[in-house]
Amino acid sequence: MAGGAGVAVLSGRGKTGRAVISALGRAGAGARPLGRAEAADLRTAMRGCEALYLMAPNMSVDEPAFVDSALRAAREVGIRRVVHHSVAAPYAPRMPHHLGKAVAEDLVRRSGLDWTILQPCAYVQNLLPGLRADPPGLDVVYDPDRSFGLVDVEDVGEAAATVLLRPGHIGATYELGGPELVSVRDVAGAAEAVLGRPVPVRRTPVREWSAGAGAGLDRRVHDWLLAMFAYYDRHGLPAGPGPLTALLGRPPKGVRQILGRELA
């Protein structure tokens, strides 16, 4: 898969897509990012590619339909290899956007294509806007002491390139978590050490979020995010480091290391 079109990366210009494409580039493989502009004619957009990195846009209204049409298009243009970007704990009926990924995973497994499924936990990078603000701070709509397997999106990109380019991953599903379980408060502590200034943590009440940051959102996205916050508030989102360590051939990067790089 050296050079050329190589891998068609759906949602390839977003946060994850950029990490996947740069990891493919470092490994000497070509990639073609596909987004809204190409969505109307996926067949034409994918033609000539050898593999598909199948990633739905964030909070897709109908992720199974999106994945189904991408799988059909791949089959029609002769792409046999597909890697599906899902999420840690996809079967979580209380989080509609996770459940959409669980249904999509089933479509991928029954697609007849050579598939691999990646299930990344939430990225450390999701918290960067608050950490880059002046003054920095983390405001979350859930318990800041819950545990998450927060992962580096760059490590996820590297794992994606590995399963796409190396043999032995067809029919495998890998949950991708960071090296240890951490809370939002732990992330703030790591950021304080990197920035050398206080990083206060605040739990925003749901009503305040709905009237503020959530006010401009589409109603469905607003409600799905509230469902996610309620789940995080009770359960966090734990995910272990084992599969990612094996794929990278090294431990995944920890919060302190990631923030050292991102906040430098």
Ligand X SMILES: NC(=O)c1ccc[n+]([C@@H]2O[C@H](COP(=O)([O-])OP(=O)(O)OC[C@H]3O[C@@H](n4cnc5c(N)ncnc54)[C@H](OP(=O)(O)O)[C@@H]3O)[C@@H](O)[C@H]2O)c1
By CB under 6 A, is residue 240 in contact with ligand X? no
For residue 125, give Cα distances in angstroms to 15, 113, 121, 165, 167: 9, 32, 12, 25, 29
Among 16, 111, 116, 162, binds ligand X (CB under 6 A): 16
Query: Which stretch in 11-19, 103-111, 139-147, 218-226 sits in contact with ligand X by CB under 6 A?
Result: 11-19
Among 42, 56, 117, 244, binds ligand X (CB under 6 A): 56
In terms of CB distance, is 30 or 35 closer to ligand X?
A: 35
- Nearest distance in Å: CB 2, ligand X: 25
Cβ partners under 8 Å of residue 231, min gap 6 = 92, 94, 95, 237
Among 123, 174, 209, 231, binds ligand X (CB under 6 A): 123
- Nearest distance in Å: CB 9, ligand X: 10
Pair of tokens at residue 203: 């739990």
Which helix (H) or strand (E) is 84 found in, with range?
A: strand 81-85
By CB under 6 A, is residue 197 in contact with ligand X? no
Angle between helices 184-195 and 255-262 (to 10 degrees): 50
Alpha helices in 27-88 (DSSP H): 42-46, 63-76
Query: Which stretch in 55-63, 191-199, 204-212, 253-261 sits in contact with ligand X by CB under 6 A?
Result: 55-63
Spatial distance between the Cα atoms of 151 and 255, rounded to a whole number of angstroms:
8
> What secondary structure letter does DSSP report for 86?
-
For residue 196, give the nearest of 135, 237, 110 by alpha carbon.
Answer: 135
In terms of CB distance, is 39 or 221 closer to ligand X?
A: 39
- Strands 81-85 and 138-140, by their bridges, are unpaired
- Nearest distance in Å: CB 8, ligand X: 12
- Nearest distance in Å: CB 197, ligand X: 25
Taking CB under 6 A as the criterion, which residues in 130-159 touch ligand X? none
In terms of CB distance, is 57 or 251 closer to ligand X?
A: 57
In terms of CB distance, is 60 or 211 closer to ligand X?
A: 60
* Size of interface with ligand X, in residues (CB under 6 A): 18
In terms of CB distance, is 153 or 201 closer to ligand X?
A: 153
Contact 198, 192 (CB under 8 A): yes
Taking CB under 6 A as the criterion, which residues in 78-117 touch ligand X? 85, 87
CA dihedral 38, 54, 229, 259 (to 10 degrees): -90
Spatial distance between the Cα atoms of 51 and 161, rounded to a whole number of angstroms:
11
> What secondary structure letter does DSSP report for 150?
-
* Residues near ligand X (CB under 6 A): 11, 13-16, 35-36, 39, 55-58, 85, 87, 120, 122-123, 126
